[in-house]
Each structure stands twice: as structure tokens, then as C-alpha cells.
Amino acid sequence: MTTSHDYPLIRCKGLTKHYRKGRQTVTPLSALDLDVPRGEFLALMGPSGSGKTTLLNLIAGIDRPSEGILEFDRHEIGGLSRGRLARWRAAHVGYIFQLYHLIPVLTAFENVEIPLLLSGLSRRERRERVENALALVGLADRMHHVPSELSGGQEQRVAIARALVTDPPLLVADEPTGDLDRESAASVLALLQQFSAEFGKTIVMVTHDPRCADAAERTLHLEKGKLLEAEEAL
Amino acid sequence: MLPLSYALRNLYRDPARLLQTILGSALVVLMIMGAAAINQGMRETLDASGAADNVILLGAGSEESVLRSEVNERAAGIAQAAMPGIVEVAGRRAISPEIQQLTYVSVGNAKNRRALVRGVTPDALLVHTRVSLVEGRFPRPGEVMAGRLSWRKLGIPRQALRVGEPVQVEGVPMILSGLFAAPSTVMESEWWMDLNDLRTQAKRNNLSSVILRMRDDGFADADLFTKQRLDLELSALRESDYYARLADFYAPLRSMTWLTALLIAAGAFLGGLNTLYAAFASRIREIATLQTIGFRPWALALSLVEESMLACLCGAILAAFAAMLWLDGLAVSFSIGTFILRLTPEVAFMGLGTGMALGLIGAIPPALRCLLPPLPTALRAAS
């Protein structure tokens, strides 16, 4: 019998995504099956156009599948409306972007506080959480700086704090080190490993960089919208 | 919901764009306030010019304009003797035989300009109860009295109207005997002189009108009088109806004022819309990021609308100050009179409402452009 704990946090069955480009139908993801256990740090690799970002967007609830089943914690999320998906994302997902996507007019503190504005927490509770999140990524002393006053690595750490501040079970990261120097990239990966190991966060990361993928527990390769078998990937 | 501070800080992102939006909306609001003040001023002046208890006897067939009317000189005397229902003031019946004529007037060495001259007797004050002397005296033969806004139609400074100054009416030298007020009526821009003087100058042997101040139910008496005395070829009109017809006559002019203001405003609005498009378009990715975090599209649309409304409100306030400085108290002339532009609460609210509407309507198309693309596409947009 499968216990709730054994059941994967994310289950994809026959996951397919089509979209129209002019008169053509493009299928970036085709009948994909994938289970991601709780607490796993998974890396998705593949060439451009292989469907890895499409898969990440589906798992993160940013996009909806055309066919197939997409379950999160035993609940089907593929059919949720745009509004319900937004609520679901706020509660379950932290997103880390390659280019950080911080709000330039807000300070690091305010950027990290943004997701908490949807939580109904009091101002004091929000302050505590934001300060803790920034301390965790080593930026407690930069909380009143705006993004233009931070380095790329610091901006990405603010973005990680923003993804983490609501304590979501799932973190998704799209090329999180793609725009960073080697040292900053290493510190970002170390943080992700720490969140997976210490806080049990499930992490799905898309990357081009094999060194980056090495930080993950498992790496899957995609090509033409399908997962490759381990030996094929090698 | 996003805090208001987010919208506020976004305003300062690009000060040049903010200034453009503020000035654009200020121009729109100023145009609307100007048009509203002109139309309100003209309407109120025409409404107030006709007293409900006054009846005008005009020549039959010329009810549209007192300037074209010809009334038998005997009409005033016959009405005085035979018509019931006329108000009596200190033993005198309130009847005013008048000639009204558009003619050339000049003060001092200033250029001749056309102005409305009214030939009256002292009994005119019995029917035109809003008229009061503010300086000097009622004109005797060889004298003329000016309404306190008459300087505007002559294109002379207000200070040029001094009692005792020489005035030329149709080239005939006269003396300015006094200044009169008739608040909010077209009479404030008129020139009043002795009836016989004007009759001689105009070479007329008839009147333009006879104005009677009647008791409450007196119009029926006046109407009956004109129907019984067919030989006089008269028509009776309530003075308020006469000016209401004039107001209708000027309705196309008021529409043109609105149309002109709206066309200029539309140009400024489209310019402002373009600025907002540019301001919002550069933030498609940022707005998509906020949606990814979990903000609903309506909450983001609200924040964008807040931002646009704040900018437009600044424009509306700027326009209100400009209107207070340049429009309030400005004398505006039209063919039969002059009125003062007033920044009334109605005009101010219209300006403020326009500013708010601009902010709301102007934000919707660019906000939709930000919010409608699918999230994966919007997240890849250039910042």
C-alpha cells in the first residue's frame, strides 16, 4: 500500500502540451510520464526547444497542459482555472527566474514581502518572516537596498528569499545560475541544496549547465518533448 | 492586493513620462473645465436675463429678435392706459418703452466697436429690477450709461470706463454719466442712453419693444391686449421665454465649444494613452512575475489603474490651479452680451471627474496589453 508520504509530490501521466504557431501546431511536450518524490532536488537538462521550460511551467502552474494528468500532492491541477491556479501557486510554489525578476522600485525587504501580501499575515508576522528569509540567504544587511544597488548574485539570493518566504513545498528554478559568475552560482546552488536537505523542499530546476545539474540529486534529460532513458542521456 | 506604495513608486520610475502624463491630462482637464465654464456662464446669463414677471411686447412676426422688432410708438401709451395687471411702483406703472440697437461705440481714442445700445426712459428701472447704479447717475439727454462689463466688448481696459469720459455713439459725442450693474445678465455689457436721443440718432419713428412688469397672472392680460389691439400688430412674450429661445439659438454655439474642447482633449488623451502604453509595456515581464507569485490579474489591473489615476489626478489638480489663475473671473463676450467665467463647484467637479475618468479609461487598454498575454510568453518579454 502506498502511504501519503510515499506518493510523489508531483505526478505527470501522458502530459502533453500543444500550441499553435501560425497554421502549425507545435508540441513541445509529448505524452510525458514523470514522478517527483517529496523533498527531491531534480534537475532537468536538454537542448533548447527540448521542452524542459514548458515542463517546468506546467509543474509550476504557470501554464496548463493540453492533455494528460498533472497531480500535485494527489490533486489534479492541470484543469484549474487561471484564477484558481494563481491561488494555488501563491500557496504551493516558489519560483526562481534566471534574470531574478525583482521589482526595481522596491527594496530587497519589500520584494521578499510581496508574496506574503497574499497570505493574510499581520505586518509584524510578515516582517519576521522576511527578515528570517533574508538572513537565510545571507542578506540581512541589505534589506533596504533596491535591486540596482545589489550585485547579480545578491539579486538572485533576494529572489530565492522571495520564493522561500511563504514556505512553499515546491521550488521551481529556471536557469537560476544562468546569469551569474561561478562564485555566485556556487552559492546559489549551495542554498538550493540546503533547502532541499534541511527543509525538505522539493526542487525542480532547469539548467543547461552540467556542473549546475551536479548539485541536484537526480538529473533527467529531455529531447523533443520526451524524457530520455538514463543510458540514452549518457 | 498590491499596496498603494507600489503604484506610487512606479510613478517616479520615469519622471519624463510622468511629466508627460500629468501635462497631457492637465490639458484635457483644462479644456473641459474651460468649455464647462463657458457653457455654464452663457446659460446662466441667458437664464438670469429674463425676469419671469416681465412681459415683452414685440412687433408681430419678430418674436425671435428684439433687434428686428418694430413697435408702434403709441403702444406704450395705450398699454399704460388700458392694460390691467401691470405692477405699480410708488404710483407709477412699470412700463418701459425701449429701442435696442447694435451700433458703434468708442470711449476716448479707442477704436469703434459694435455694442448693444438701449434707449430707455428712467422708468426702465421699474421693470429691470436687477439693474442698479454703481457709480454716477442715470443718463440725461447727451449722456450715456455703461454696464460694468461693457469694456470687454469694446476691447478697452476696465479702467477706461470713467464717469465724465467722452464717449461716441455712432459718431455722436456724448458723456459717460454712470456705470450700472445687472448681475449675471446680458445687460451688464450694454450701453443705456436717453430714448429720444437714440430715436433721433437711429432715425426711427418706432420702438423695438415695450417691457411691462406684470403681477403674477399678468401675462394673460398682456396676451389678451395684443389680441384685442390688432391694429398695433403686437405679440406678447414672457421675458424669460424670450431669453430661453435665445439660449436655444445659442445651443449650437455651446455644442461647438464642447466639440472643440473634446477634439483637443481627444488629441491630448491619445498622447497620454501612448505614454501609458510605453510605461506599462516596459513592465509586461514584471507584471507577469507578480502573476506568477499569485496575484490575480484584477489586482494588478487595479494597481495599474491606481497608478494612472494618481498621475491624472495630479494633472487635474494642476489644471484646477491653472483655471483658478487664468480662467476664473475672465470676461467672455458673445454677440449679445458678456459674462464672467466662474470656477463653480460644478465646473471643478467636472474637471476632477474628467481627470479620474481619464486615469481609469486611459489605463484599461495598456493594462489589458500587459495582462492578456499567456504567462510563459509574458515572462520572456523584454524588460
pLDDT digits (tens, 9 = 90+) for B117-161: 999 999 999 999 999 999 999 999 999 999 999 988 888 888 889
Q: Is A117 in contact with B379 (Cβ distance < 8 A)? A: no
Cβ-defined contact of A83 to B383 (cutoff 8 Å): no
Classify residue A232 by burial, with Cβ atoms within 10 Å: 0-12, 13-18, 19+: exposed
In terms of domains, do B321 and B281 share one?
Answer: yes
pLDDT at A233 over 60: no
Number of structural domains, chain B?
2
Give chain A positions within 8 Å (CB) of B9. 105-106
From the list A63, A91, A115, the residue facing B376 with the nearest CB is A63
B201 and B122 housed in the same domain: yes
Chain A, nearest residue to B10 by Cα: A105
Question: What's the whole-number average pLDDT of chain B?
Answer: 89
Q: For residue B294, give the nearest of A54, A104, A115 by CB distance.
A: A115
Is the pLDDT assigned to residue A149 strictly greater than 60? yes
The answer to whether the CB atoms of B294 and A87 lie below 8 A apart is yes
Residue B367 and residue B298 share a domain: yes
pLDDT band at B292 (very low <50, low <70, confident <90, very high): very high
Q: What's the average model confidence in pLDDT over B29-36? A: 92
Whole-number pLDDT of residue A195: 92
Task: Tell which CATH classification among 3.20.190.10, 3.40.190.10, 3.40.47.10, 3.40.50.300 matches the domain A38-61+81-233.
Answer: 3.40.50.300
Q: Which of B232, B263, B281 is where one domain is finished? A: B232
The confidence score (pLDDT) of residue B340 equals: 85
Same domain, B67 and B41: no
Q: How far apart are CA B194 and CA B192, in angstroms?
A: 7
Average pLDDT, chain A: 91
Percent of chain A with pLDDT over 70: 95
Q: What is the domain partition of chain A in residue ranges?
A: 38-61+81-233
Q: In angstroms, what separates the C-alpha of B287 from chain A's closest C-alpha?
A: 9
The helix/strand/coil state of B207 is: strand
Q: Are residues B312 and B353 in the same domain?
A: yes
In a domain, B239, yes or no: no
Place B47 in a pLDDT band, splitting at 50, 70 and 90. confident
Q: What is the mean pLDDT of residues A54-65?
A: 94
| pLDDT attached to residue B68 | 87
Give residue B1's pLDDT band: very low, low, confident or very high (50, 70, 90): confident
Taken as a whole, chain B contains a residue count of 383
Q: Which residues contact A126 (CB under 8 A, 6 or more apart)?
A: A113, A116, A117, A119
Least CB-CB distance to A117: which of B2, B9, B10?
Answer: B2
Residue B200 sits in the same domain as residue B260 = no
Q: Which of B1, B10, B295 sits opposite A86 (nearest CB)?
A: B295
Q: What is the mean pLDDT of residues B323-338?
A: 84
Quick one: B293 and B346 in the same domain? yes
Domain boundary among B174, B198, B232: B232
Question: What is the residue type of A197?
Answer: A
| pLDDT surpassing 90 at residue A161 | yes
Contact: B293, A162; criterion CB under 8 Å: yes
Residue A180 has pLDDT above 50, yes or no: yes
With cut-offs at 50, 70 and 90, classify the pLDDT of residue B334.
Answer: confident
Same domain, B282 and B228: no
CB atoms within 10 A of CB B88: 11
* Domain identity same for B77 and B198: yes
Q: Is the pLDDT of residue A5 over 80?
A: no
What range does the domain containing B309 cover?
4-47+250-379
Q: What is the pLDDT of residue B311?
A: 92
Q: Determine the Cα–Cα distance for residues B265 and B261; give it in Å rounded to an integer.
A: 6
**The pairing of beta strand A170-174 with beta strand A202-206:** parallel
Q: Closest Cα partner for B94 from B275, B253, B218?
A: B218
Same domain, B267 and B365: yes
In this prediction, residue B336 carries a pLDDT of: 74
Distance (Å, rounded) from C-alpha B113 to C-alpha B51? 29
Q: Is B205 on the interface with A (CB under 8 A)?
A: no
Which run of H or of E encompasses B34? helix B15-49
Number of A/B CB contacts below 8 angstroms equals 62
Report chain A residues whose CB lies below 8 A from the CB of B1: 117
pLDDT at B175: 95
